[in-house]
Each structure stands twice: as C-alpha cells, then as structure tokens.
Amino acid sequence: MKFSLTWLRDHLETDATLAEITEALNAIGLEVEGVEDPSEKLAGFRVAHVLTAEKHPDADKLQVLTVDAGPDVNGGKPLQVVCGAPNARAGMKGVLGLPGAVVPSNGMELRKAAIRGVESTGMMCSLRELDIGESHEGILELPDDAPAGHSFADYQGSSPIIEVAVTPNRPDCMGVHGIARDLAAAGLGTLKPIAVPEFAASGACPVEIRTDDAQGCPAFYGRVITGVKNGPSPDWLQQRLKSAGQRPISLLVDLTNYLMLAYGRPAHAYDCAKLHGAVHARRAKPGEQVLALNEKTYTLDDSMVVIADEREVHDIAGIMGGENSGVSDGTTDVLLEIAYFDPARIGVTGRKLGLASDARTRFERGVDPAFLDEGLDLLTGLIVELAGGAASEVVRAGSPPSEPKVVAFDTGLTKRLGGVEVPEDEQRRILESLDFAVDGDWQVTCPLRRHDIEGPVDIVEEIVRIHGLDKVESVPLPRAEGVARPTATPQQVMERRLRRAAAASGLDEAVTWSFLPEKEAAHFGPEGETLWTLENPISEDLKVMRPSLLPGLLMSAKRNADRGAASTRLFELGRRYFRKDDGTSDERATLGVLLAGEKTPRGWGTGKAEMFDAFDAKAAAIALLEAAGAPTGNLMVMGPDSLGPGTQFHPGQSATLRLGPKNVLARFGMLHPATLKAFDLDGPVAAVELFLDAIPARKAAKGPVSFARPSFTPPALQPVMRDFAFLVPEPLAAGDLLRAVQGADKANIIAARVFDLFTGIPGKEGGVPEGMKSLAIEVTLQPQEKSYKDAEIKAIADKVVAAAAKLGAELRG
C-alpha cells in the first residue's frame, strides 16, 4: 500500500519526521518496502518568469524567450530559451528545467544546445514532461504570484511517498486511517477523528434497494444524490490518489477510490439514468455475462454475487463494476452503494474469473462491517461538497455482522509468549488505543474490523508489536558444553547430498509451485491415490496439491522452450502430497529430474544434435541414488507395470529401479507422447523420479566415533580380466545377467560390466538365433595372497557359466 506523507498527516497529528515514521512502521509490523521522494525527480526545475517572447528567426512554430530563473542562476541575468509551446508568452510564470536536470517523463538530461541556430539554455516544461499530469498541449502555467527562482518541488509541496507491505491478516490497515491508528497507538502522534462534511438528507430514495442473497451479501446500503456536476477532481484529491498509484478519472469515481484508499472501504457509484427498476444483490445465473469496467466480458455462475437491476447485471459484487452503468461527465443523478460481502465468496469469485482489483483485495480479507453508515455519509458529504446535489435518505437492506468477539485474556501471556515485559497499564492503553474494550476482569472485546483476532495469542501479538518488535530481546538457545551435536536429521543430510550431486552433474535446480491445475495433476495421479484438492485455493489454476514433481518441471521446460532454450536439464527436490482416508496429508519426499531437448549440440564430430534418451535417465537415477546412500549394487531393473496405468512414461522405454520386487526406489525413462502432448512439448523428454522415502536408512555405526582418516592399501597383486560372450533370450535384462555373474564367486569377482551387445542377422553365418541376443561381459578377478593358476581361473569361469545358465544364457563358441 502506498500513500504520501501529506496524506498520512491528514489522519495523524504528529511532529515526527519521515525517518521516525518509517522506523515506527517497521517496529509495529508494517514493513516499509520503500520511500520515494518526488522532489528528487524535480531537482533542477525552477519557477521561472517569462520576460520576453520573440518569434524564432528560422522557425515559424518556435519562439525565443528570455526567462528570469532567480538571482542564483546565471548571475541573476535572464536566460535565453527556445520554446515551441503555443501558450508561451511574455509575463507568464512557468517551470524551467535547467541544464543538467533530468526530465521525469522520459529520463532525458537537459543540456545547453543550439536549436535552429539559436542557443537555448534549458526547457520550459509541460505537465506530462514533469510527470505530474497528462496535458501536453502547452507549457505549465503557474499563478502570477508564484515566486520566480524558487524550486518547483518546494513550490508544489511534493510529499514523500511511503510504501508498506500489509499482510493478509491486517485488512484494517488497507487504508491510510488504519495505518495512522496504529502509529498513534505506538505513541507517534494523535489520531484525528473522521470529519464528515455536513449535508442535509431529505426525501425517500427514488431507487428500490434490496439484497436477495443474505449469505453472499448480508448488508446492502445506498442512497441517491441528484443534481451533481461531475468533472475533474481538485488538486488535493488528485495528488493523494497519485501517491497511491491511482490514476484520477473523474470527481465521482475519484471520491469512491479515495474512500477505499483512505479508510479501507470500497464503494461504488452508478449513473441512475442507466438503471432500470430495483437495484439488488443476488446470485448470478449460470452463463450470465457482464461487461466490466476493464472492458472485458466475464461469464458468471451461480456461486457468484452480483449487483443487478431488473434488466441486467451491473456489478461483479465486491470486485469490479460494470461498464454499462458507470458514471460519466454527463452524470447528474448518482446511486451510491456501500455493502458488506462474504469474504470467502469474494475470494472464490475472483479466482474463478481470474480478476484482481483493489476492492477484491479488501473484501476478501474482510472490511469493517461497522463502517457502512459512516462510510456512506462520508462519501455523500464529499460529493455534495465538491459536486453539489441533494442527497436522499439512506436505504438499509439487510444487516452486517454486529456481534463482537470477546476474548478472556491473561496479561502474563505477554511475557511468556512475547518474551517482553509490558506493564498491565501499558497493555490496557495499547488495546484501548486500537479500539479494543477491556473490562476489569480482562475480558477483551474486539472491534468488528479485526477479523484476525482468534484468541489470546493474537492479543499478545497486538500488544507486543505496538510496544515495539524491536524491543523483544534476542536470546540465544542454550548450548551444551563440548562438541556441538549435529542438528540436521538424516533426511536433511541426504537431501543436501542429493542437491550437491545433482548440481555437480550439470542439472539446474528448479523450485515450482506445490499446487497444480486439476487436469495436469490428474494426469500424474497414481492409481489408487486420492488427489488433495484445496477448498480455498489461491487460484483456480493452483487448486490441487501435486502428486508428482514432474508436472511442474514439464511446465518449466515448456516456458524455457518457448523462450528459445535448446536444452533443459532441471531437478527439483520437494514433496508429493496425497490425501489419506482420515483427511490428513500424506507427504512423500521426492527428487524429480527432467532432461529435454539437446544432449549435445550439432558439431563437427557429432553432425546433428544428439537428444537425451532413456539411458541418460537411468544413469542419472543410479548416480543420484548412490549419492543418497542407496545400495545401488543390489538394484533390480524392472518394468513400470506396477506403477499404475503407465500413461506418463513410454511403456517400451522406461523402467523402475527396485530393492526387491515391491520396494520401488525410482522410475526413469522417456515420457509418453500423450504426456508430452498434454503439456504441449515437442521432442523426446527423459525423466526420473526418486522416491526418497523408499530408500532404506543407513545403519548407525556402533562404538565410539573415530575422526581418523580411513586407511586404504591397494591390492598387492594385479587384477585379472576375462571376457565372456553369452547367447541369452532377447527379453533378458543385462542387469540381471550381471548380477548373476557377480554373484557366482563373490570372493574373487570384484566387478563385471557389459561391453558389447550383438544381434547380427538371423540365419546367416556369425549371426544369432531368432529371439536371442549376444551379451559380452568383462569380468574382473582379484587375487588375494597369490596369483591365480590356470585351474583356479577355469574353476571360476565354470562358476560364471553355470550361474548364467540358470537364466537361460549359453556361452558362445
């Protein structure tokens, strides 16, 4: 939220400096995100008096002015300025930008220059060039009494603009008055009472007002003002709206925005000439449409609240008004509407429509239900004072929540929970300054606008933050003597190792949303698992907790590809979420890897680019499992059938890594074309999912911890290599054959690897039988105390052949 220091002083009587105010805001929990001083942008711009104006000798549309910019400029002598503004004339007062000044609207630095052969020192400026208005037809004209030579920023009274971050639980501070209340409670001044301009209300309201949806719109107040004159807003109002980042539109619209920004109370004005019959709040009809003020048409459903007349919808309640009934310069009779809407309904409607507005931000967090009458009178009084007209009596349809929350409070909680000693009298003063009522037994009655107060802990928060968060002493946790024990859990240690290993292998870490669109989440939902759908999501596109990390990575790869990335190598370590039968969350630690696009770019040696394949995914999976501490030597490669319908991965180019038939540690391979189509991705994409909760924990070491460097003595004897070529059934996995060979003689065989796969041409000499393939395996033998004899090597080879034969393998001749 942004506001000017001048605007804050409208509500807070204080002598505090800007620095003291920003320091106090941070101390009470309203974090200052930035301070902007508009006068800095206007440095080098002076109030100037045009002494003479002569036609340019070489340009019909230019004039040569002599300008007095004050006694401290050019030794007090007039400056010569070339100007093309049609309203430039002798005797007028304007704004002169001196050489070295930077034009706020475009960042151009002014310099002394020759224009059509005539030297010009500086530039006379328009409103748009000074970035304080839209007019650019001529230079800015100042009153005759404007002091020539004065800084224009000082003359204009530019006020610093403060921007604070208001947390979602503090809608009472979504207006300048609420922020002033907090500062006054913190002792920085006195809160000024709300001054409602006097006006006389007479006669019944000529428009029928009612609410037909007491749940969605419990209270709907309104009145008509006739004979108003709309037009531009006065300067003070425009300056305040601009300081908040709002563009002034017209007096009637600006006053409704002023009420919202000053007091956190959205309101709306309708042109009575565009209304037909009774105006009422109701549920929208399915398929009903409305053209909103942002010039977009929205299709509604029956969960949404609208403001309508007998003919059409005029307002998406609590979010945005309609174009068809908006006020214009010709508006003479206006209906003012101020209402209380159900916050949850406003939030759901905004998410469904993808529509954000300042009004929605306040309504979905909860506005003050006690400020309807006062807010309507304040808005009415301002309109009558500035735009004229006669106001009718108020129509009150329904009633807002009026039962305040009462909390039994123990003043000792402030010390126990807040960690700061605050005297009881000071606690009472703080609460009463925030409009809490405190009786003798410390029964605290909360103001209706404080929807965030749930219990005593929230009262403690109010006391501590107003007392000053900076006064809470930092107390270190107690530490035992001796060597500090590690604080990271085994799971955290494993995740750190995985992150380092993944990054070291050339993968880029991604952090994606834990929420997914329902369609993408369902595509990756394992069979038999219940997706976790949120009742109150932050967006309709983020309503399901992710059942897999791969959808988020796929959407990231899509964004990268759309921006021209030829290769994407991503990993993410996070949680998958499922809903248990008892309604609680089942969270599972997972590591996802996505390899998309080019593995190696085209070049002299490779020719065309090489793409990622299933073997790249397998290599990544095994390397990361090893980093996680999994016993990779015992892994089994099995098909993906038991993981569900198998629509995510390609059935012929994917597999799982397991410890035993049921314990799945990872799945890897190429993604199914249907998956790529669902995420609008082209080309082959390899992926890995490591299920970290399935990795067995390492056994704790027994005995005292040793910090000595482990010793390693290489074998004294040279290893022996032997090659075996086996004819095996084509479906047999090479990994299964390797495990059988390595297990044939564990005392002597220390390694085995496949170095050749041969299928040949069936039926021809040197080929292999149909349905068979040839796998060549290099076996490494390590003698221990003495070198092998031929008979010993033959005995080991016989064991290898016998172990392979159990899998249907036959030694090739």
Sign of CA dihedral 451, 455, 459, 461: negative
358 a known binding residue? no
Using DSSP's 3-state secondary structure scheme, residue 387 falls into: helix
Residue 594 tokens, joined: 């996505």
CA angle 153, 159, 162 (to 5 degrees): 140
What whole-number distance in Å separates Cα of residue 411 and Cα of residue 424?
Answer: 7
377 a known binding residue? no
Phi, psi of 76 (to 5 degrees): 85, 0
Residue 634 tokens, joined: 């015992």
What whole-number distance in Å separates Cα of residue 520 and Cα of residue 522?
Answer: 5
Residue 473 tokens, joined: 């002493």
Side-chain half-sphere CA neighbours of 764 within 13 A: 4
What whole-number distance in Å separates Cα of residue 414 and Cα of residue 442?
Answer: 13
Q: What is the 3-state secondary structure (H, E, C) of 662-721?
A: CEEEEEEEEECHHHHHHCCCCCCEEEEEEEHHHCCCCCCCCCCCCCCCCCCCCCCCCCEE
Using DSSP's 3-state secondary structure scheme, residue 556 falls into: helix
What whole-number distance in Å separates Cα of residue 719 and Cα of residue 741?
Answer: 17
What whole-number distance in Å separates Cα of residue 279 and Cα of residue 711?
Answer: 87
Side-chain half-sphere CA neighbours of 234 within 13 A: 9
What whole-number distance in Å separates Cα of residue 151 and Cα of residue 124?
Answer: 14
Q: What is the 3-state secondary structure (H, E, C) of 800-813?
A: HHHHHHCCCCEECC
Residue 5 tokens, joined: 């220091």
Q: Which DSSP state fits 325?
A: G
Nearest to 687 by CA among 756, 640, 737: 640
Helical axes 18-27 vs 176-185, angle rounded to 10°: 80
| Amino acid (1-letter code) at residue 16 | A
172 a known binding residue? no
Instruction: Enumerate the β-bridge partners of residue 545.
Output: 515
C-beta separation of 220 from 315 below 8 A: no
Pairing of strands 313-316, 161-165: unpaired
Nearest to 315 by CA among 335, 329, 344, 330: 335
Neighbours of 182 (CB within 10 A): 24
Distances (CA, A) of 707 to 488, 496, 666, 710, 711: 19, 22, 34, 9, 12
Q: Which DSSP state fits 553?
A: H
What whole-number distance in Å separates Cα of residue 108 and Cα of residue 589?
Answer: 54
C-beta separation of 691 from 628 below 8 A: no
Residue 613 tokens, joined: 């394949």
461 a known binding residue? yes
C-beta separation of 679 from 701 below 8 A: no
Instruction: Enumerate the β-bridge partners of residue 657.
Output: 637, 666
Neighbours of 404 (CB within 10 A): 15
808: left (phi over 0), alpha (psi -120 to 50) or beta: left
Contacts of 690 (CB under 8 A, 6+ apart): 498, 590, 591, 592, 593, 621, 624, 625, 628, 665, 666
Pick out the residues of the known binding site for Mg(2+).
452, 458, 461-462
Pick out the residues of the known binding site.
452, 458, 461-462
